[in-house]
Structure formats: structure tokens, C-alpha cells
Amino acid sequence: MPRKYEVFDRRTAAPVEPHPVVTLQKRATWGFNRAAFLALGEPRAIQMAYSPEGAVGFMLASPDDPRSYPVRRQSAGSNFQISGKAFCQHYGIPLPGYAKRFSAELEDDILWVDIKRHLENPEDDDAEGTHNNRQADEDSDGA
């Protein structure tokens, strides 16, 4: 008897992460999953804001505004990104040794992330590549 099956179409699949997530990559690129992009209103450009409490905000902006950053769609998938090197340098935001993901919350049309609490290990706010150090520590425990 022939097997019944359905061919998977990644173009119509639901997003993997239904909640807004923002990623800071090691070269200071900020990435947005589809949920974050939609929460911002599908922007063509984004402005960034910094709170001294350690939060970074992203908001819809006009592409003509000189303070805005153009949004680029990543070549594969449904993620989006903006450059953030000058922003991170200006506010002294340390760049991680690996990409860090942050849960994002929308407040008054600004999508905020707490850069001290990333999703991989919310208790760890050291941006000096502790993910790799943790792995090395775990490997040495077994010897």
C-alpha cells in the first residue's frame, strides 16, 4: 500500500520562534526574527535608542532620517538585520564572541532588549565569549 505523505515547504512554514527575538552578532550586526520585524511594523529603516539601565531599543524610522539604519533581509530565511557597529562603539556595548539572542518586548512602539540578559544563559552578562569558556570547563571536568 502506498505511503501517504506531505512535502515540506519551508516558504510557508510557521516561524520557528513566535516571539520577538533580537540577536547581537559578533561583528555588531543586530538581527531580528520575523516576529520582531512584524512587531516593528515591517520597517524599511530602524532607529536605535540606548537606556543607561542596559537596554537597547529599536523603532520604526523613515529611510530618509539620517539617524536611521536601513533594514536588510538576510539572503536565506525570514530574518532581518541592521548594522550597529558605531552604535555599540558609542555606548561601549561589548561585542560577544558569539551571537547572543535577546527576548524583546514592545513598549510604546519601541522594541526593547535587556542586553544584560541573553537567552542562552540569562544569568551570564559577560560578553567575552563565556559560551566557549563554559564548554571548555565542562570538557575538563570529565578528565
pLDDT tens per residue, range 8-56: 877 766 556 689 999 999 899 999 999 999 999 999 999 999 999 999 9
State the pTM of this model. Answer: 0.72
The dihedrals phi and psi of 82, each to the nearest 5 degrees, come to -135, 155
Beta-bridge partners for 48 = 58
Q: Determine the pLDDT at residue 139.
A: 39
- Residue 82 burial (CB count, 10 A): 21
CB 94 within 8 Å of CB 128 = yes
pLDDT tens per residue, range 100-129: 999 999 999 999 999 988 776 444 444 343
Q: Cell numbers 552604535 correspond to what residue?
A: 87
pLDDT tens per residue, range 48-79: 999 999 999 999 999 999 999 999 998 777 79
| Domain boundaries along the sequence of the chain | 21-141
